Structure 1
């Protein structure tokens, strides 16, 4: 496990939003303390490979899920409280997950690229402008042929009121239209106290974005 110094970005923590650390003052509804079945199943089937980025890793469950079979796994998040929990989990489990303080709206992570990207309920949390910025950054950090897997709340009832931005398949395909192939959008169950139907999106990077 790396205790590398935090990666600083131009966008300050919590710019225009509540402090990211405040989100983890008590366990947030999306943090169940275990990996989501929609992503865990991929790991169990050996679908994850190469260098793995867990974008918006929170307390690190999916980073550590990727690290368990020996993959080089990096988690990135702005919440220092969540990252401290993630590093503690890695120590307790004897796993070599690497955790960086980095804004996922300011990807790529300097000097690094990844073969697999995991996003556990991050993409749907952005409005349209930030969503485009986020996907552009994912493209810059993912090698051609690399894969991105993300569950996202679907735009149909029942759904949480005002707390997430539910996304339609058309919006997903539009967001990943440039340099990505959307291979599948599959209905999945999402482990969360926010009850809502969800999809798991599977994308393949077809070309490299230069920022």
Structure 2
């Protein structure tokens, strides 16, 4: 595993432990945006999120956890929802705010640690995780899911789009159905309504993207 570099040490959250993805790459989330688009930054919303919005899947106040440059946030906001996009990468958030201003879309962006979402002091009826959960190892997921629980209204919905372990061309952090079920348990206050096969587009997987799961998870 790569040693922790200076880019990992330069973090706005004092004492934040680098995530497994950061340790694997030797690079902070913010540094991923310093030399052009990050591998997951496709410059437009994910098709699964566009479809979800068209089907009326969003309701109430919306949180986009790990929003990056804000393409999904802005797409949901363009449908008239109050959306907060949060990320630990300040460079990505600056791009997101610039995109929002350039397109005349009202959306809010804030820096936040995904493991400390309760510090936002707000709750949301819909929470979107597009490509964040799959960057966390199994030992990190309980803390992240507890963080999601702290900001999701009872009766609210969390949508997770993540790399799947099924099929050729899987992404670098594939997740199984069983791992999703292990993360979001009834004992933890969750009901998994559906886990459906889908696709995640990246800058390196071709036009069809990589195999994914699209999970619909209810807060009970």
Specify the TM-score bucket, using the shorter chain as the normaliser: 0.7 to 0.9
Aligned counterpart in structure 1 of residue 214 of structure 2, from 192, 200, 204: 200
Please report how far the alpha carbon of residue 104 of structure 1 lies from its aligned counterpart in structure 2 after TM superposition: 0.7
Please report how far the alpha carbon of residue 28 of structure 1 lies from its aligned counterpart in structure 2 after TM superposition: 1.3
Q: Is the 8 A contact 2:60 2:81 kept in 1?
A: yes
Does the alignment pair 1:185 with 2:214?
A: no
TM-score in terms of structure 1 length: 0.87
| Partner deviation per Cα, 1:156-184 (whole Å, 9 max, x = no partner) | 34245xx7321111111110002111001
Aligned counterpart in structure 2 of residue 23 of structure 1, from 23, 28, 32: 32
* Structure of higher RCO (CA pairs closer than 8 Å, 6+ residues apart): 1
Does the alignment pair 1:174 with 2:182?
A: yes
Match of 1:152 in 2: 162
Deviates more, 1:19-28 or 1:68-77: 19-28
Match of 1:106 in 2: 116
Please report how far the alpha carbon of residue 11 of structure 1 lies from its aligned counterpart in structure 2 after TM superposition: 4.3
Task: Give the distance between the partners of 1:197 and 1:110, measured in 2 at CA.
Answer: 32
Please show how residues 83-98 of structure 1 align to structure 2 within 5 Å: 83-98=93-108
Stretches (4+) displaced over 3 A: 8-17
Task: Give the distance between the partners of 1:87 and 1:14, measured in 2 at CA.
Answer: 25
Match of 1:3 in 2: none
| Partner deviation per Cα, 1:108-141 (whole Å, 9 max, x = no partner) | 2421000000111100110011111111111111
Task: Give the distance between the partners of 2:136 and 2:100, measured in 1 at CA.
Answer: 29
Q: Is the 8 A contact 1:38 1:189 kept in 2?
A: yes
Deviates more, 1:30-39 or 1:184-193: 184-193
Q: Is the 8 A contact 2:192 2:216 kept in 1?
A: yes
TM-score in terms of structure 2 length: 0.84
More helix per residue: 1 or 2? 2
Task: Give the distance between the partners of 2:31 and 2:197, measured in 1 at CA.
Answer: 31
Task: Give the distance between the partners of 2:153 and 2:176, measured in 1 at CA.
Answer: 26
Match of 2:60 in 1: 50
Please report how far the alpha carbon of residue 202 of structure 1 lies from its aligned counterpart in structure 2 after TM superposition: 0.5
Task: Give the distance between the partners of 2:150 and 2:79, measured in 1 at CA.
Answer: 26
CA RMSD of aligned residues (A): 1.8
